[in-house]
Every structure is written in C-alpha cells, then in structure tokens.
DNA sequence: CTTTGTGCAAACACTTTGCAAGTCC
DNA sequence: GGACTTGCAAAGTGTTTGCACAAAG
C-alpha cells in the first residue's frame, strides 16, 4: 500500500502543524514496509533518505501519525510496537511464526466473535486489530513433508 | 485460583531440579495475583516473603515455570509480559480499560473463530490465549449515565 | 519573528547476562 | 562434594524526555 503525500500535507496544514521533511520521510518509511514495521525499521529506512534523522524524531512522528489516524500502532508477539498504514477497511493479521509472512484477513469473521462476546458477557471489545500467530499453509505442508530431526 | 505446592515440588524433583525457597515464593506470588501479574508485581510480592530475593531470580524462575507449564506468559496491552497460573481449561481474558478488571471467557467461542480461519485461509493459529481490551458492562452503564466533561 | 519541531544526550523501564558465592541433594 | 541456584552488578533493549538550536509559517 502506498500513501498520498499531498493529502498528508493538507492534513498537517489543516491542523496548524508544520510540514517538515522528517515527517514526510517517516511516513514514507512506514509505507515502504509491507505489513507491520517496528520503530527501529522505520528509523533505518528513514535514514536512507536522511542519515541525520534522530530516533526521538521518529518516535515523536509515529506518535503524531497515530494521533492523526494515518497509521495504527500494534504490539507484536515479541512485545515491540509495530506500525502500519491505516487502510480503508478494518482488518486483522495472521503472522506466520515460521516464515514471518503476514496475511490480512477481513474484519467480518472476527466481528462475529466480538458481537458474540458483547451478547454473552455485555463486554464491548475495543481491540480493533488482532495479530494472531500461527503456521501458514505453505509452512505447514513443508513441515509435514519432512521428518522432524 | 490457588496452587499445590506439593505437586510443584514433585514436578521439580521429577525433573532433577532443585526445590528452593525462592521457587516456591515466586510461584506463591503468581498465585496471589488475580488474573495477570507482571514480573515487577511478582517481584514485589515475593519480597514480602523474602526481601532479599533478586529480580534476576524472579525472571529466571518465571521462565522456568513457563517451561514446566505451570504458568503461562502473555503480553499485556501495554506491552509488558504478564503471567498467570495455567488452569485446567483453555480460556481467554477480557480486560476492562476503565476499571482494570479481568473477565475470563471459555475457549469455545474463540475456537469457532480459529476454526473458521483454518478453513478459510489454511492458517493454523497457535495463539492460544487472547487478551481483548474493552469496556465491561458496569463501566459502560456508568459511563452512559454521566455527561462527559 | 514567533512558534513548532529537531537533534543530541541522557534517562527510563523492563529484561537479560556473567560470574563468584551459596545451597540443595 | 558437586551440580544447580542465587545475588549482585552490569549491560542490553526499546522507548521517552529536557533542552538549546534550527526551521517553518
């Protein structure tokens, strides 16, 4: 997924925020990443464009992007915060623990679970993004076909 | 939920591991916590019994307890690792973001989701414990009844 | 020119590690 | 006694903060 610099610039301006090269570089860096990107990866990627950019700028900018609703923050299974562009539709991710690939799944299946929880327990789930770990089909079949050592 | 010191001692012995006061204290500390307990809380609680116990001992013991299958580690929404005693049945947690209370829900509803994911995407989810954030019924009604400031 | 944002450096919280001394069996 | 554990202290992550200088509007 790619983003729209122009829309982002207008968004910043509409809030009275400054348009700086660093902000554009951080947003670019998040976009370059497929799926979820850690702050460290964003920093590394942003430094390709601007070697002088500081980690604190990256963290502050990511926080800003979250507040603006441009990116979303989530916890990875290792406990570090990962970021991704906010798309049009809500969705969730399946992360393969073997190959590391990420698969997007639509919200509807999960929505059913959330509604069931609401109905049964009167609990309104506000977690809008799940990252489920597991084994993807490709890794599963290749694992079955070989004898474990 | 409480635990069985005797069973734990036998488990340690059966593996050729030493039974030390620290190990019992850490297990006690995990048990004293309702629901999920962070390593820091375990340390604090264990120090009530043994002020000299070290943080590294707590971390090492928690790791051991996980390996033995006595406790399970999970990530909290804030990204810190939390521990809980392994109960008989698989279950999941609803954590209220307002009052902090935790509610246990049985595995079956969630299991349906996992099976649906398996069927639709061929992805085998290995995440066996979910912590969903949200608003519990009590907090929801008290929030509705008062005007937001 | 004023306000906002950046880089720098230091501090932070949580967790892990190496090693000598202590403890369990 | 010998192997396993602990405490201590230090280092390692990932993240946050205070502040002077730089840059945007």
pLDDT tens digits for B60-72? 999 999 999 999 9
Asked if B123 lies within 8 A of A112 by C-beta distance, the reply is no
Q: Answer yes or no: are the C-beta atoms of B99 and B139 closer than 8 Å.
A: yes
Asked if B133 lies within 8 A of A140 by C-beta distance, the reply is no
- Cβ of residue B142 closer than 8 Å to a chain A Cβ: no
| Closest partner CB to A109 (pick from B75, B109, B117) | B117
> Does residue B149 carry a pLDDT above 60?
no
pLDDT class for B4, splitting at 50, 70, 90?
confident
Distance A27 CA to D18 C1' (A): 26
How far apart CA A92 and CA A94 sit, in angstroms, is 7
Per residue of chain A (149 residues), what is the pLDDT tens digit? 567 899 999 999 999 999 999 999 999 999 998 779 999 999 999 999 999 999 999 999 999 999 999 999 999 888 999 999 987 678 899 999 888 888 999 998 899 999 999 999 999 999 888 899 899 999 988 866 554 43
Asked if A113 lies within 8 A of B110 by C-beta distance, the reply is yes
Nearest CA in chain B to A80: B79
Evaluate if pTM is beyond 0.95. Answer: no
> Does residue B2 carry a pLDDT above 90?
no
Q: Looking at residue A90, what is its pLDDT? A: 81
**Closest-CA distance of chain A to residue B88, Å:** 21
> Does residue B122 carry a pLDDT above 80?
yes
Place of tokens 């006690």: B28
Asked if B127 lies within 8 A of A133 by C-beta distance, the reply is yes
Query: Which chain A residues touch B83 with a CB distance below 8 Å?
Result: none
Query: Which chain A residues touch B132 with a CB distance below 8 Å?
Result: 117, 125, 127
How far apart CA A103 and CA A91 sit, in angstroms, is 10
- Cβ of residue A72 closer than 8 Å to a chain B Cβ: no
> Does residue B136 carry a pLDDT above 90?
yes
């Amino acid at each position: 997924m790619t983003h729209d610099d122009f829309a982002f610039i207008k968004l910043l301006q509409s809030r009275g925020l400054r348009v700086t090269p660093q902000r554009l570089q951080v947003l670019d860096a998040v976009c370059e990443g497929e799926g979820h990107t850690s702050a460290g990866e964003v920093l590394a990627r942003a430094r390709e464009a601007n070697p002088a950019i500081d980690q604190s700028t990256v963290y502050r900018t990511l926080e800003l992007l979250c507040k603006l609703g441009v990116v979303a923050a989530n916890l990875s299974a290792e406990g570090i915060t990962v970021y991704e562009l906010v798309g049009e539709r809500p969705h969730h991710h399946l992360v393969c623990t073997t190959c590391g690939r990420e698969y997007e799944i639509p919200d509807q299946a999960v929505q059913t679970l959330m509604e069931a929880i609401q109905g049964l327990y009167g609990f309104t789930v506000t977690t809008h993004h799940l990252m489920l770990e597991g084994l993807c089909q490709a890794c599963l079949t290749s694992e079955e076909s070989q004898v474990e050592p």
